Amino acid sequence: MSVPARAIPSDLLTATVRFCRLLRARGLAITPAESRDALRTLELVDLADRAEVHRALRTVLVTRPEDFAAFDAAFDAFWGGLASAGTIAAPGGAEAAPKVEAHFPRVKDGALEFAEWTDFGEGEGEPIGLPGLSDIEALMGRDFSAFGAEELEEVARLAAQLARRLATRRSRRLTPSRRHGRVDLRRTMRGEPVELARRRRKILKTKLVVLCDVSGSMDLYSRLLVQFLYALQNQLGRMETFVFSTRLHRITEELRGQSYDRALARLGDVRDWSGGTKIGESLRTFNQEWRRLLDRDTVVLVLSDGWDTGDPAILSEALVQIRRRAAKVIWLNPLLGSPDYQPLTQGMVAALPHVDAFLPAHNLESLRALARHLTP
């Protein structure tokens, strides 16, 4: 699924160019080309992730290892200490950030060149915050139940960004590479030392099966969760999506390869949407009709608040069977984001002994944190 380009606000463009001028004044080799790369990078990265902003800009603006210290000092001074908010990988180390590739259309070069060489006045080195950063952070942390209709477009954009990140996570394991990555000395010395053999971290091919509760008790969350699943479905090649209320429905094809509005219209065929909840019977149906989807490389996500009107023994047995065939079972509960929530419903009591992780799913930040749990 293609992701629309995020327009760069004029104040962010101005600030980035001023930052590039500051780096040039401190001896770094910054040209208009590097400034354009920096702006295109900011179109791609998550502005709410401060460490990611730091890594991305350092990747495209620093070409010599001896300039890393100068860049870090300038970044902290100019952007108000954003670098200190997250762990920054050591230059050239095992976890060094890969070079950012631009997936968005280029900003018009003429406008960038004009901005690059225009004097924006005094105070070039004054600390400045990323425009809109606090707004984005607030949006990431806001409970889904508090979103208004006018904010759904921004939610969709951030959901697609999170889904894209999940789809392109890199493993710690290295795989042979023809051109890029670190030098593999062992393979190089085994062959003729004419061409260096290289290795790089391979992209994790996550295989997901998602079972999402769309019963009445989930009304405050199900629309936004399905929107996230729509974005994820169109990023991952190996994902199957089901929704359930009193019955189980496969919606993989409805979510794939079309606009979200059209996908949502097609989901109107799910007749018991916002109805009662029979989690156990729905999962039992999955085991009876779709268990072939499960293997030791599959992560199963169950999105539900645990309000089950059925027999808890059925739910328990269904999860035992799923856990026996899958690599991991993760239960995402929107209510877990509330500090006073306790999983005391009969559905959650029956489910918890059979899941590998019990996590919140009440806001975009909780969905972003999901990535670390998706390794089989």
Give 7-58 pLDDT, tens digit per residue: 555 567 777 888 888 888 888 888 777 888 888 888 777 777 778 888 889 9
In 10 A of CB 300, how many CB atoms?
Answer: 26
- pTM confidence score: 0.61
Residue-wise pLDDT tens digits, 147-173: 877 777 777 777 777 777 766 665 555
What are 297's two structure tokens? 């490389």
The answer to whether the beta carbons of residues 328 and 356 sit under 8 Å apart is: yes
pLDDT tier for residue 4 given thresholds of 50, 70 and 90: very low
Instruction: State how far the alpha carbon of 26 is from the alpha carbons of 15, 61, 84, 85, in Å.
Output: 17, 13, 21, 24
Q: Helix 312-325 vs helix 279-290: angle between axes, to the nearest 10 degrees? A: 40
What are the sequence ranges of the domains in the chain?
10-131, 170-203, 207-373
Indicate the range of 116-120, 218-222, 286-290, 321-325 predicted with least confidence.
116-120
Residue 374 clears pLDDT 70, i.e. is over it:
yes
Measured distance CA(207)–CA(167) in Å, rounded: 10
Burial 40-75 (b: 16+ CB within 10 A, else e): bbbbbbbbbbbbbbbbbbbbbbbeeeebeeebbebb
Q: Name residue 239's beta-bridge partners.
A: 208
By C-alpha distance, which of 163, 169, 217, 167 is closest to 333? 217
Predicted pLDDT of residue 27: 84
Fold classification of 207-373 is: Rossmann fold (3.40.50)
Residue-wise pLDDT tens digits, 344-353: 999 999 999 9
By C-alpha distance, which of 48, 53, 223, 47 is closest to 141? 48
3 state SS of 358:
strand
How confident is the model over 88-97, as a mean pLDDT?
Answer: 34
